[in-house]
A and B are shown apart, each in its own frame.
Chain A
Amino acid sequence: MMGFFRQAGVIAAKDLRAELRTKEAINSSLAFALVILLMFSFAFDPLADTTREIAGGLLWIVFAFAGTLVLNRSFARELPNDCLDGLIAAPLSGAALFLGKACASFLLVLGVQLVSLPVFGVFYNVPWTRQFPELLLVLVLGTWGLTVVGTISSALTVNIRLRELMLPMLTYPILFPALLGAMQLTAVLMAGNPIGPGETGWLKMMVGFDVIYTAVSLALVETVLVS
């Protein structure tokens, strides 16, 4: 069991090192997040009070779009020089490979979010720091759901036609419950209120979503990689 987590850690460290040296996914993802944040301000008055009510939704649309750019690279990064075949032939389980890649993408997507959050706060005059610990919890839960589903989609689409188009098409419908929950909770937190008893159900649902999809992805990823 220790060997499994050590293998996953090696893969995660390798992915993070490769990404931090090239910065190809994280730069495009950040730039994309900024562009979307800017474009939203054309659609409505960015300083109106009503903007805070939809802030949660806006923020997660930005995160979901920008996250896809990072997740697309997760397995596609291994295509040059046939690295993917090497990884599959290496003496480590598909589940460890998946978990390592998911952890690396999770940290990268979370990094992009933590950079775009203050920008969002400044552009739209939203006091996002008021409930920061709870906001961080929602970010972690939502982002883990996004990365688990995105990483398994990345493994599915890496060798097929229209790779970059297929990944968001596969990911967003599955993410409907998690994104809806994250948007509801973020909207409450952005208004400056704590998560009340009426909203804990959403939190539990997001935990359940993350647990279910992590377990099934770990169980089925071997099938995806070897076929």
Chain B
Amino acid sequence: MSAGDLYIPLGATAALAAATALAASIGYLRTRNLRFDSMARAATETLLAFLAAAIVSGCFVIHSVSGKWWTWDARLTAALVCWLLFATCLMLRAAVDDPSRRAAFAAVWSIFAWLDVPLVVATAAWWKPGTALPIEWTGPRLGLLAAMAGGLLIRARMRQAASSHPERAG
């Protein structure tokens, strides 16, 4: 097993967690149920962890090819910008005290971040054409494992977040 087998399953799991975060954010704005907020927060944290791991393993692949750790490869650059985008959602959370306001602000910002993802991916590819890491599905079992680990992480963090507001857990 090499780093080349890792970055696709890790990235795919991050994308799944990101989709969960978006669904939970929209769910919160529609229902105002704080359970959705716990889910959005847990999914965003899981997404950041998996995306960071994907970026690091991508760096190892780049290093094995070119001898440099960072070459402004289009996909890695896009992944880094997306990581920053979703990290700002958590920073915004940390700065708001009122739970329902925090949930609404974070949900709005998640939607903003999501809308940016296709633009970031497209512009990074235009900016540095012909540098993107290949996307070849080399590890189906590994992918399944990563997705399960991601799901478990979201579940565990949701419980933790819900238990910190026992009076509000629905």
With known contacts A160-B96, A173-B85, A176-B81, A223–B104 Cβ distance under 8 A: yes
**What A residues does B105 contact at CB under 8 A?**
156, 160, 224, 227
Main SS at interface, chain B? helix
Interface size on B, residues (CB 8 A): 27
CA distance A161 to B126 in the complex (A): 37
Q: B111 touching A216 by the CB < 8 A rule?
A: yes
Contacts of A156 in B (CB 8 A): 92, 105, 108-109
Stretch touching chain B among A65-73, A188-196, A202-210: A202-210
- Total A-B residue contacts, Cβ distance less than 8 Å: 73
A180 with B127, Cβ < 8 A, contacts A223-B29, A224-B108 known:
yes
Which of A19-27, A47-55, A90-98, A162-170 forms contacts with chain B?
Answer: A162-170
Question: Known contacts A160-B95, A223-B29; is A173 also within 8 Å of B84 by CB?
Answer: yes
A147-206 contacts to B (CB < 8 Å): 149, 152, 156-157, 160-162, 166, 169-170, 173-174, 176-177, 180-181, 184, 201-202, 205
CB distance from B154 to the nearest CB of A (A): 23
User: Which residues of A come within 8 Å of B, CB atoms?
Assistant: 149, 152, 156-157, 160-162, 166, 169-170, 173-174, 176-177, 180-181, 184, 201-202, 205, 208-209, 212-213, 216, 220, 223-224, 227
In the assembled complex, 19 residue pairs joining A and B whose CB atoms fall closer than 8 Å, in A order, are: A157-B95, A160-B95, A160-B96, A160-B105, A161-B96, A162-B95, A166-B95, A170-B92, A173-B81, A173-B84, A174-B113, A177-B116, A177-B123, A180-B123, A184-B127, A205-B123, A209-B119, A220-B111, A227-B101
Using CB atoms and an 8 Å cutoff, list the residues of chain B in contact with chain A.
29, 81, 84-85, 88, 91-92, 95-97, 100-101, 104-105, 108-109, 111-113, 115-116, 119-120, 122-123, 126-127
